[in-house]
Structure 1
Amino acid sequence: MNISKDMNPKSYEKPRILTKASDKCIFRICDGRGQIHQENKPGDDYMVICQCRKYKQQLRKIKSAGIPTDYTDKTMNDFKIDMYETDYSVRLAKYAKQAVTGYLDRYQEFEDMGKGFYFYSQTKGSGKSLLSMIIANELIKRYELNALYISVVNMLTELKNKMNQSNSKVGVYDLIESFKKADLLILDDLGVEKATEWSEEILTQILDDRMNYRRPTIITSNVSVEGLERKYPAGRIKSRIEKLTFPLRLPEESVRETLSKQDNEKMAQMLFN
């Protein structure tokens, strides 16, 4: 039966949401299942994807990247220039923040070049790891890429453990391939590990593959680029890192130590005031 124009149900000015909002949805739009039941007019209803589903997918990607829980929600706003004390440290931090911001804004161009960063500073807690994981978080959110974060010490330990297993060849190959093929690889604390002929060979394999296929790599280290030749005497690590990354020196100040002192002062006030 045809319905005359005058008898058509009235359309809503905006789609009417039929789904009952719940606290299970971080945006309080859907019921937590990631879909919104909407209606243009009676009898014309449909489902749309809620923002919370994409948010959950991003969180899963961040967690699967191996990023520690304390860093999974970090953004550029968390890299605070005023945490550094000396003028020189502030200048270094400003330069690093400007460089990282520019990198994120033009990432697709740098991705085509296969370029990342080499953050270095002899001081622990200076912001190297924080900046590297901010980059990972932002790129996962913007481009939904597959990132992988691991400290060099843990990477080598995992490989050694795989080698001691019965199916070692398969396990070691798969693990090395995951480091080679990740859209973005973050190698934390390069230079802390005990350098051996074997460890240098493993690092060379991974860096060489990433260099050849232009896959961006972020590296943090307590060793300057010039000092890499002394740390890795075979000489193959330095040249690959120079090709893969743009070096950025971080201040020789421990922001982590400053933040820890602030936390303790806050806790003391809560306990005794």
Structure 2
Amino acid sequence: MLLKRRLSFAELPESLKDVTLETFTINAYENPKSKDTARKACEGIKYYLKNFNSLKTAGMGLYIHSNTKGSGKTRMAASVANHIMQNTTLQARFATSTRIITEIQSIWDDKTGTQSVSKLLNDLSRISVLIIDDFGTEIHKAWVEEKFYQIINERYINNLPTIFTSNCRLEQLKYDDRITNRIEEKTFQIAFPEESVNLPTIFTSNCRLEQLKYDDRITNRIEEKTFQIAFPEESVRKAIKRKNHEELIENITK
């Protein structure tokens, strides 16, 4: 029950609440180079988790990066958070960088005051383990940079681990050295594959697969990765209308 409450407080997306490193599959990637990169990433993260008790004392976190969206970075960060909460008494908190900024803006818009913003920043600065997802995708403004600096610097000073995912390598971030230097010092940089993980795709079509006018590059991949389900060759509306008509005739002739 306590673990369930901690997982709920972590605010992980529903689809990521049960993911683990053990269920992360390298075979989700098609490119051999991607598989190799994913394998090395898993090895690095396993080392981090195996030695977490000593590494957290120094405030060491992770910076998981890949320029490609959908490469599995968020899922891996959630797996790390779940592992930590299941194997330690530490509390984790998950938030996208955009959500952090949106929450700050909404507090300002509601005119709830500087005190509420300070509480939000303090909560993020003091949580045992913070996961910031999609770092670097938020709109870059001076005040945004300042708020992230407050969070990152406070965690840096207090040796609290932060796990980042990003579509940028560290040197590609548009933030100044105050932020990037602290991230570099307090994280292991883990490269993820430059390949989007294949996710299930559902197609509906008025054509059988062989009737599609696309070339074999497309149809072959659809054929390989889908179950083809045939539906009746009759409009539902027409079927209902026909059934109603038959029932009407039956009632008249009784």
Matched, 1:57 2:2: yes
**Alignment equivalent of 1:244, drawn from 183, 186, 193:** 186
Which residue matches 2:199?
Answer: 259
Deviations 1:223-243 (A, max 9, x none): 111112xx12x3322111101
Which residue matches 2:169?
Answer: 224
Q: CA deviation at 1:263?
A: 10
Deviations 1:7-53 (A, max 9, x none): xxxxxxxxxxxxxxxxxxxxxxxxxxxxxxxxxxxxxxxxxxxxxxx
Compared with structure 1, are the counterparts of its residues 254 and 262 closer, same or farther at alpha carbon in structure 2 (3 Å cutoff)?
A: farther
Where do residues 1-273 of structure 1 align in structure 2 (5 Å cutoff)?
56-228=1-173, 231-232=174-175, 234-255=176-197, 258-261=198-201, 269=227, 271-272=229-230
Q: CA deviation at 1:100?
A: 1.1
Compared with structure 1, are the counterparts of its residues 101 and 175 closer, same or farther at alpha carbon in structure 2 (3 Å cutoff)?
A: same
Q: Secondary structure at the match of 2:199?
A: helix
Q: In the aligned structure 2, how far is the partner of 1:75 from the partner of 1:263?
A: 29
Q: Secondary structure at the match of 2:139?
A: coil
In structure 1, runs of 5+ residues without a counterpart are: 1-55
Q: Secondary structure at the match of 2:101?
A: helix
Could you tell me whether the CA contact under 8 Å between 1:186 and 1:219 is conserved in 2?
Answer: yes
Q: In the aligned structure 2, how far is the partner of 1:214 from the partner of 1:118?
A: 16
Moved more, 97-106 or 202-211: 97-106
User: What is the letter of the counterpart of residue 269 of structure 1?
Assistant: F
Compared with structure 1, are the counterparts of its residues 77 and 267 closer, same or farther at alpha carbon in structure 2 (3 Å cutoff)?
A: same
Aligned residues: 213
Q: CA deviation at 1:272?
A: 3.7
Deviations 1:151-178 (A, max 9, x none): 0001001011112233312210110001
Compared with structure 1, are the counterparts of its residues 80 and 156 closer, same or farther at alpha carbon in structure 2 (3 Å cutoff)?
A: same
Give the TM-score normalised by structure 1.
0.73
Could you tell me whether the CA contact under 8 Å between 1:191 and 1:221 is conserved in 2?
Answer: yes
Name the one with the larger strand percent.
Answer: 1
Q: CA deviation at 1:209?
A: 0.6
In structure 2, runs of 5+ residues without a counterpart are: 205-221, 232-254
Give the TM-score normalised by structure 2.
0.79
User: What is the letter of the counterpart of residue 259 of structure 1?
Assistant: L
Q: What percentage of aligned pairs have identical amino acids?
A: 31
